[in-house]
A and B are shown apart, each in its own frame.
Chain A
């Protein structure tokens, strides 16, 4: 058990992470609607305590796999705000050179194995990263973030079973935010606690208040210790809520107007943490956390704006290891084929607004 001052210090760190995610995502929302960010963007406002509480337990060499709603996980795992924003702005300086975008952002320097455009795509990657840790005899762990909707797909079931029978250091973090796209979880499964599915594979599960970053942190501390010491996988269900639409621009016809406001009124994880810290965190210090995050985001936007779009030729390389070397047999993009394609001007700043999944 942590001492009181250490607990406060942890609380402030968790709060800092949550505020950085909130500022980042509110900024993404603004810039997306202004047309600075192309593609789709899915926000995790309301769910920040999960990303913060989980990643505070992880080392840079531990792996995470994220979802289409992955900004918070990525930032919490340690990716720089600059590299993230530049990626979302489709710049050459983005963490994926402008080839991934919001739904396919990854940062291998901090063990972030990628957001995933395919629901449930992360389960295999985490099972594999955990298996790899066993094969290489390290004490690394791998964490899979996923939504309730993902647990209705086959890879969830196959990979939980695989991790269970091989006792792999994998941790399954369910963000049960009550919805999958436009469908409420109650309509797609007969159970209230999705985590009871873990029992079918012999994996212990805990349910935590997903608005409480301390609760998430503690559950992950136990799961991480278990995984590192060869105890096998753990399932943690975080009861949380998605305060925004499924994607930016979602008209949210599937839920009552005001529902999100009501939940955030009582359960905003940032407000809850601030209240929990009480006098240990002065109003000034709290304000400073916000200002620092806003400064960091403004700097990231300036960095992105000053960054070039990717060179056109960049589109043709990076498929295979070795494909930048014309002598390598995998170099398969013949210059004549590239040039035969209609020349195009890179479309920077043409955000598609509020469409699609």
Chain B
């Protein structure tokens, strides 16, 4: 175990995978000479050369398209999207090409491509640099979507994404890059599709992922003061989704709060809540409560930005009202 930042954990993952597999290469805007806008690529070109860590023009459609082509023909490309928001410039390449080729070509091919997409709300980045878009991609058959919550996840999930034979979106929250955590130093790979129980309590389960895991853990501490014992489930992968872990948490606590930073309407939380409603109805002592961002673009002014997405007090409040049947 070593303590390192989330950013350093992704670097360790990249370094280990590039050493292990010569077909892994990286491309993106400002990643090589600059080292990435969050320092997440620092030192890689010095070790692996500028052919394996490629600075590219501002051509998102070409990067993702070429990522797919390279993945089809024997490489494991990792494509950096700079900001997750810019995936929209390559939507065809993600949704019509990467996601579908294996299926519609009758399993003749694989698309082992990883898209790294820094996402989320931080530092007044504003409407076009703050989005959490995982819902779109969970809705598209053929894509894996992984979202690390801490430095440990950052390393283990990135290694798993690179090794996966499927196109995988790796959403890394911009505000998490400098956050430190303990990270196993050996070849540490987290299986995709498996959730992690961060905290085991009997009164209520908070099912969440990504940066909201930290907020849920804070909320659990607040709830403790009220005598409420909360489970916190870190999904780690939002597709494939660990339905078993969700059903298990519902069965053990009978009350579930689902929380994420992405917009609540049409979000991943809606899928989870409806799954619990369909599959775990008899286990429930109350409705599944969903928390997500308001259905507005993320605003610029700090006071406005802070108003639109769920943080620890909101999560604690929702859980408290659910347990006390004050809904």
What are the residues of chain B within 8 A of A56 when measuring CB–CB? none
The reply to whether A131 and B61 contact each other, CB–CB distance below 8 Å, is: no
Contact of B70 among A121, A131, A165, A322 (CB under 8 A): A131
Q: Considering the chains assembled together, what is the distance between the CA atoms of A236 and B300 in angstroms?
A: 49
The reply to whether B61 and A158 contact each other, CB–CB distance below 8 Å, is: yes
What are the residues of chain A within 8 A of B52 when measuring CB–CB? 135
Q: Considering the chains assembled together, what is the distance between the CA atoms of A95 and B106 in angstroms?
A: 7
Contact of A131 among B66, B96, B164, B241 (CB under 8 A): B66
Q: Considering the chains assembled together, what is the distance between the CA atoms of A103 and B192 in angstroms?
A: 33
Q: Which of A132, A136, A165, A320 lies at the interface centre, i.e. has the most chain B CB atoms within 10 A of its CB?
A: A320
The reply to whether A96 and B165 contact each other, CB–CB distance below 8 Å, is: no
A128 at the interface (CB under 8 A from B): yes
Contact of B103 among A131, A132, A318, A329 (CB under 8 A): A318
A275 at the interface (CB under 8 A from B): no
- Total chain B interface residues with beta-carbon distance under 8 A: 54
Q: Considering the chains assembled together, what is the distance between the CA atoms of A159 and B64 in angstroms?
A: 10
Closest Cβ of chain B to A167, distance in Å, is 12
The reply to whether A128 and B165 contact each other, CB–CB distance below 8 Å, is: no
Q: Considering the chains assembled together, what is the distance between the CA atoms of A124 and B23 in angstroms?
A: 18
Q: Considering the chains assembled together, what is the distance between the CA atoms of A128 and B97 in angstroms?
A: 12
Q: Which of A118, A124, A166, A330 lies at the interface centre, i.e. has the most chain B CB atoms within 10 A of its CB?
A: A124
B119 at the interface (CB under 8 A from A): no
Q: Considering the chains assembled together, what is the distance between the CA atoms of A161 and B65 in angstroms?
A: 13
Q: Considering the chains assembled together, what is the distance between the CA atoms of A127 and B72 in angstroms?
A: 12
The reply to whether B106 and A155 contact each other, CB–CB distance below 8 Å, is: no
Q: Which of A28-36, A107-115, A289-297 contacts B (4 or more CB under 8 A)?
A: A107-115
The reply to whether A121 and B92 contact each other, CB–CB distance below 8 Å, is: yes
What are the residues of chain B within 8 A of A131 when measuring CB–CB? 66, 69-70, 75
Contact of A124 among B25, B68, B106, B194 (CB under 8 A): B68
What are the residues of chain B within 8 A of A113 when measuring CB–CB? 69, 72-73, 109
What are the residues of chain A within 8 A of B274 when measuring CB–CB? none
Closest Cβ of chain A to B308, distance in Å, is 32
Q: Considering the chains assembled together, what is the distance between the CA atoms of A130 and B72 in angstroms?
A: 11
The reply to whether B73 and A63 contact each other, CB–CB distance below 8 Å, is: yes
B141 at the interface (CB under 8 A from A): yes
Contact of B62 among A65, A96, A127, A322 (CB under 8 A): A127
Q: Considering the chains assembled together, what is the distance between the CA atoms of A116 and B192 in angstroms?
A: 30
- Supply 19 A–B pairs (Cβ within 8 Å), ascending by A: A65-B69, A96-B106, A106-B108, A106-B109, A113-B72, A125-B69, A125-B72, A127-B69, A128-B67, A128-B77, A129-B72, A131-B69, A135-B52, A155-B61, A159-B61, A161-B62, A319-B142, A332-B240, A332-B241
Name the 6 nearest CB pairs between A and B, nearest first: A124-B65, A128-B69, A329-B193, A97-B106, A158-B62, A96-B106
